[in-house]
Amino acid sequence: MKKILIVSALWIAALLTSGCDTSGTDDQAEKQVPVAVSTVTLGDVTQSLHFMGDIKAEFEVNVFSKIPDRIETYYIDEGDFVKKGDPIADIAAVTVEQSVRQAEAGLAAARAQETNLASEYARAKKLFSEDAMSQQQFDAVQTQYEAVSAQVTQASAALKSAKSYFGDATVTAPISGIIGKRYLEAGDMAAPSLPVASVVQMDRVKIEIEVTERDLGKLSPGQEAAISVRSYPDETFSGRLVKISPVLDPMTRMATAEIIIPNRDHKLKPGMFAEAVVTTGVLDDVIVLPRHAVIESTTMQTVEGQDVVGKDYYVYVVADSNRAERRRLTLAYVNHNCVAVSDGVTLGERFVVRGQNNLRDGAALLISEEAEQ
């Protein structure tokens, strides 16, 4: 009886052990990772550099009053168009006006005296030619006449100068353009150190950008630039790089460059903050992968004995039996949207564009979608 019980117990234990082994096999079944893939193809990549800067008028001139006196009249307001020579403001110039009157009176007196001496000088010349006047007497008359003539010339110049200064009482536009700002009001005191208004030319505007020493060699005058501003988020303005400073700031190691943008409709206003993307070149017929499909890995690298931060780039390709294979990429160029690959993948291979962050090398793939780049 005891033998029968022992055999029964061993048989039941064997059945239980067999059932556990079957359950363990099911749990260890390999899981497939769902991914979307695309095919490696050739394309063109535009190389560019991104800059930030403020929009400025191509030409902006501050207008000053040469006469330090009270403003009597303003002829303009902000936003008005003026031509070169148009009046901007009248300055009270009572003192200057009095100077003009004094200069006119001085000139009149000098001319009257010159007229009187002219007849005396003519008579002296006649007497001297007839030996009726000595050389000494003639020289005295001649000297007096020449002195008065010089006084007339001096008085005439003084009057011209006074009139010119009095003409400055009307402040005029030095260039044609739009009144950008009116700094004072009628009744305020004008001063040579304080601008009365500013005149800007806005048919073209400019952006001054700061270029690092590393990027300086990639830029040259004539390169195209795409300009965007927050005021017009769905519109891009076309500009061109026209000027690059020949020297770098020794403190920042940066050079100033200038981009000119046509602005006939005056949408771009001085003071706007803008982003400029300057096209530096185009890579034709290269392997192009979307940036979001590429995995970036930051590492510490030793370069010439110094530790520097470096980046490695990887992508997962579909290998045999639909398994993931991690490939390290050698990049020719990278921007916000895509990467140009010089080594690491070949044409026609399939690579993972979504789900790559859940993968490991050799993982089984469940391809749920063939995505386009």
Let me know how many helices (H) and strands (E) the chain has, helices first. Answer: 4, 18
Q: Which pLDDT does position 54 carry in this prediction?
A: 94
Q: Which CATH number fits domain 50-56+204-284: 3.10.105.10, 3.30.930.10, 2.40.30.170, 2.130.10.10?
A: 2.40.30.170
- Do residues 55 and 269 make contact, with C-beta atoms less than 8 angstroms apart? yes
Q: Where is mean pLDDT largest: 138-142, 206-210, 334-338?
A: 206-210
Q: Which pLDDT does position 94 carry in this prediction?
A: 67
Residue 289's pLDDT band, with cuts at 50, 70 and 90, is very high
Buried residues in 120-158 as b, exposed as e (16+ CB within 10 A): ebeebeeebeeeebeeeebeebeeebeebbebbeebeeb
Q: What percent of the chain lies above the pLDDT cut of 90?
A: 53
Q: Which pLDDT does position 27 carry in this prediction?
A: 43
Task: Assign domain 94-167 to a CATH class.
Answer: mainly alpha
- Do residues 65 and 164 make contact, with C-beta atoms less than 8 angstroms apart? no
Q: What percent of the chain lies above the pLDDT cut of 70?
A: 88
Nearest to 276 by CA among 238, 232, 219, 220: 238
> CA-CA distance, 214 to 283, in Å (whole number)?
20
Q: Which pLDDT does position 134 carry in this prediction?
A: 80
> CA-CA distance, 172 to 64, in Å (whole number)?
9
Helix (H) or strand (E) holding 26: helix 2-27
Q: Which pLDDT does position 300 carry in this prediction?
A: 76
Residue 68's pLDDT band, with cuts at 50, 70 and 90, is confident
Q: Confirm or reject CATH 3.40.50.1980 for domain 33-45+286-370, answering yes or no.
A: no
Q: What is the CATH number of domain 63-90+170-198?
A: 2.40.50.100
- Residues 76-94 pLDDT 10s: 999 899 999 999 998 887 6
Average pLDDT for 152-172: 77
- Do residues 34 and 364 make contact, with C-beta atoms less than 8 angstroms apart? no
Domain limits, the chain:
33-45+286-370, 50-56+204-284, 63-90+170-198, 94-167
- Do residues 279 and 239 make contact, with C-beta atoms less than 8 angstroms apart? no
Question: What are the strands, taking DSSP E only, across the chain?
Answer: 33-39, 41-64, 71-74, 81-82, 87-91, 170-172, 177-182, 195-212, 224-229, 237-244, 254-262, 273-290, 295-303, 306-318, 324-334, 338-343, 350-354, 365-370
Residue 259's pLDDT band, with cuts at 50, 70 and 90, is very high
Please say if the pLDDT value at position 2 is more than 50: no
Please say if the pLDDT value at position 173 is more than 80: yes
Q: Which pLDDT does position 297 carry in this prediction?
A: 87
